[in-house]
Amino acid sequence: MSDLETRLSQASEETREAARQAVPPPIPSARPARPGWLILAAAFTAVVLLFAVPALLGGQDTPLGENPQPTQSPPTTIGAATTITMIDDTPQQCSAEGTPEPALSSDLPADVDTTARAIIGAASDCDFDVLAGIAFTDGSPDLITSFGGGGIDNLARWEEEGYGEMDTLVRLFGTSHALIESEDGPAIYVWPAAFAYDRWEDIPPEYLSELMDLGVYGEGELDEIAKFGSYAGWRIGIDENGEWLFFVAGD
């Protein structure tokens, strides 16, 4: 088994685990049940008022020489203010919108170049239907996006939760690529080239500079990645036949 396949087979926690908020159970009413006698009394009172009040009002004469008293309307009671939550149905902006289209190397095989350009175009528009079609070109859901589970569905969820990984996906294609040979399968083209090195200290300075200039990692994040012993950050893999294998981070 190749070193790459060994890496990809190692399970780890999902790199970007979404925070899930549990929905609390319904709160039971604290109001006690009314006794049966109280219900009967209330019903009796309602019936009496229904017949007695109109009779009293209709049979009352106004004394001679006195002005009838105007009927007063009950005061209007203004209840507690109701907060209305407006739902913002404005489409969420794609994180890759405005990200410059990267220039791919001219020495890529035609199939790899075609797949890479298709991914860039769809990711720039956050078109997850097209990305799903690219991932399933061979009819099987083999795209790895997380060692914790999930495939193409993670891409839409990450974007919805604001992680901005579509921007990351596009930017990675702007780095140098490397070719990883496999003894029992097609060779794999990877971005960034730093992923092809087994040890962090073996990564050439120009490839390290690409990582620092990528615009994906914040201050200190690359130092944390270096603690793995090799580059274990975000990377893309497309085999020589043009099959999109992974967009993943972790080790």
Residue 42 has pLDDT above 60, yes or no: no
Please give the single-letter amino acid code of residue 250: G
Q: What is d(CA 210, CA 208) in angstroms, rounded to the nearest whole number?
A: 5
Q: What is d(CA 242, CA 111) in angstroms, rounded to the nearest whole number?
A: 5
* Tokens, residue 243: 């099959």
Residue 120 has pLDDT above 70, yes or no: yes
Residue 85 has pLDDT above 90, yes or no: no
15-22 own/partner pairs: CB under 8 Å, 24+ apart: 15/146, 15/147, 15/148, 15/248, 15/249, 15/250, 16/146, 16/158, 16/163, 16/165, 16/249, 17/148, 18/157, 18/158, 18/161, 19/161
For residue 86, give the DSSP letter: P
Give 235's strand partners: 248
Q: In this predicted structure, what is the pLDDT of residue 29? A: 30
- Residues whose CB is less than 8 angstroms from the CB of residue 19 and which lie 6 or more positions away in sequence, other chains included: 161
Lowest mean pLDDT among 1-5, 39-43, 119-123, 232-236: 39-43
Choice between 54 and 199, residue whose per-residue pLDDT is larger: 199
pLDDT in tens, 51-73: 444 444 444 444 334 444 443 43
- pLDDT category of residue 165 using cuts at 50, 70 and 90: very high
Alpha helix ranges (H) inside the chain: 3-9, 36-59, 110-124, 128-135, 152-160, 165-172, 205-212, 221-226
| CA distances (Å), origin 196, targets 10, 130, 177, 185, 242 | 17, 28, 9, 17, 18
Total-model pTM: 0.64
Q: What is d(CA 184, CA 2) in angstroms, rounded to the nearest whole number?
A: 8
Q: What is d(CA 220, CA 150) in angstroms, rounded to the nearest whole number?
A: 28
Domains of the chain: 107-248 (3.10.450)
Please state the rounded mean pLDDT for residues 113-126: 97
Lowest mean pLDDT among 67-71, 72-76, 115-119: 72-76
pLDDT in tens, 134-144: 998 666 667 99
Choice between 115 and 45, residue whose per-residue pLDDT is larger: 115
Phi–psi pair at 21, nearest 5 degrees: -100, 120
Mean pLDDT of the chain: 74
Please state the rounded mean pLDDT for residues 33-41: 36
111 touches 137 (CB < 8 A): no
Q: In this predicted structure, what is the pLDDT of residue 139? A: 64
